[in-house]
Chain A
């Protein structure tokens, strides 16, 4: 395990800047998640660290050494691809053993066997070791792909949306397992996703990417509660943050220059008594909670509500802001 540092790396494909002047330090043993929409440069960043792409500018250092001239094989990294990149004609066992059988590693077959079985147990695929890799379900294939990264002890694990092609239940399961494994091994891991739940639940620190730029880096708590700008605020929170004009609702004490108020559920107080300023439009029942759709002077607001709150569509309610987030005309956060 080692520290990985990106010094102002940039990469353009044709006219499009995929990664633009990105600097980031991933500390030893840290789980960092890069979060951003499709095309934000997440995958390119991983590929630049892996050496599958060469940066136009900037440097990548792994454990203090500049790896700019090294091939992917020479860099001490493991990569999990978005697609199940298994070797289709090999068994699960041989897939897991593949990286260890590189002549460069000179491991004895006992050692290989030991490591493969250990990792197979870790990703819970040990009952299917003799199966052909093509005869597995999607979830099992991705476990093998993750396992193939874990059999090695590289400086850093790079994972490119490894869970995105799985169904919701399996994704939740593997998410927990991955975090547990990372903690057990105390490994350095850079993980790329567009799923805010994955980012919030697994990351030690989250980096928000947009159009090739790193906008904010911080712990999940910081990113959620203290976003640097509108873009970051809009990436996190379920339901989405409500963006409203400053003077729409009472309770705001806006700093000068503020144009937009960002209000999540915890920033809104709903009262059925008192002077009503809003009308309930629609209620979505999710079981443990309700999504309340509220209309205020032509603006729509979505917020979570206690399922026992007795309101129905058409009811008039009173909405008050409670220490919301303020943003200026340029979208930057005002404190």
Chain B
């Protein structure tokens, strides 16, 4: 045997070729590259169609009907745009939208400011910065269910650590306030948890931005007698801005549809003070069983997020092109 395969790779390739049934081998060999490419992506596309695109189209269809999912046998009749009309004229839904906007605004503001500051500190490459990066990232790695549950304990007025710490620094008795039970504090309780959990994510993206700025630009600025303050505003911020904006986009989309944390912490209460749009949607769909109307609401939310995100991405591209 003079042409025996020598390396392990060649040998295993040989084994693979021999073990492939001749029929398949012959058939694959006859296909064009394009056909093979389709062969590979078809299963994924089929799955996407089945679990993403079809339900979306189905929801659009349902939004024009009076369908109720708890009465699957009732006759489905088309109602035209009435569902949309009702949703847009419902004052409760507008209140939920306001709550959502308030929530999105404050979480993004806090997460961006704190996340960027942390990234800026970590980027100084002090001793042990890799260790601290890992520590900071831990909240992001936890499941929202876990986070929700343990913050419920932290917020517990009698035994909660959060209340205890606040009282330690401010002198207010720990059981005198209820983060989750008070109308004025409950929205902030959720904002605090979301910020705690997702600031590391913003930090990570900002850190990537800061690391992409080459050292020699700072050195040039230093030689040009730019103060640290001027370097920050004329180099660091403009050059990291596309990254910051990207983080804001991701968090914005995510928090617009915020559901799990609110559900776990307050369930929308007390009253409806923390009832964000997705909670209202869930109530309409699975408590009132107004499937058609809630579908219309879902479509409206989707179009709103999609539209806002598109406008934002245009702005982002403009910043990137500068």
Contacts and interface: CB of A to CB of B under 8 A. Distances in A.
A11 to B, nearest CB: 16
A81 B216 contact: yes
Interface string B69-96: 0000000000000000000000000000
Contacts of B217: 85, 87
The dominant DSSP class at the A interface is loop
A132 B221 CA distance: 18
A104 B239 contact: no
A42 interface: no
A77 interface: yes
B214 A73 contact: no
A102 interface: yes
A103 B227 contact: yes
Contact of B226 (A52, A85, A88, A102): A102
B318 interface: no
Interface string A69-111: 0011100011101010101111000000011001111000000
A197 to B, nearest CB: 25
Given A79-B220, A81-B216, A132-B322, A105 B235 contact: no
B220 A105 contact: no
Contacts of B238: 88-89
B224 A77 contact: no
B222 A73 contact: yes
Contact of A73 (B223, B234, B322): B223
B222 A71 contact: yes
Interface residues of B, number: 18
Nearest to B241: A89
B220 A85 contact: yes
A73 B225 contact: yes
A105 B227 CA distance: 12
Contacts of A73: 222-223, 225-226
Contacts of B225: 73, 99, 102, 104-105
A148 interface: yes
A50 interface: yes
A99 B239 contact: no
A72 B214 contact: no
Contacts of A104: 225
A145 to B, nearest CB: 8
A156 B224 CA distance: 13
Interface in B219-245: 219-227, 230, 234-235, 238-239
Contacts of B220: 79, 81, 85, 148
Nearest to A151: B224
A85 B235 CA distance: 11
A87 B223 contact: no
B225 to A, nearest CB: 4
Nearest to A77: B223
B219 A72 contact: yes
Given A85-B216, A87-B217, A89-B238, A79 B322 contact: no
Nearest to B226: A102
B226 A72 contact: no
Contacts of B219: 52, 72, 79, 81, 85
B224 A99 contact: yes
Contacts of A89: 238-239, 322
Given A87-B234, A89-B239, A72 B222 contact: yes
A52 B221 CA distance: 12
14 contacts: A52-B222, A71-B222, A73-B225, A81-B219, A85-B217, A85-B219, A87-B235, A89-B238, A89-B322, A90-B234, A99-B224, A99-B225, A102-B227, A148-B224
Interface of B: 214, 216-217, 219-227, 230, 234-235, 238-239, 322
Task: Return the 5 tightest CB-CB contacts between A and B, nearest first.
Answer: A99-B224, A102-B225, A85-B220, A89-B238, A73-B225
Given A87-B217, A89-B238, 16 more contacts: A50-B223, A52-B223, A71-B222, A72-B219, A72-B222, A79-B220, A81-B220, A85-B219, A87-B221, A87-B234, A88-B238, A88-B322, A98-B234, A102-B226, A102-B230, A104-B225
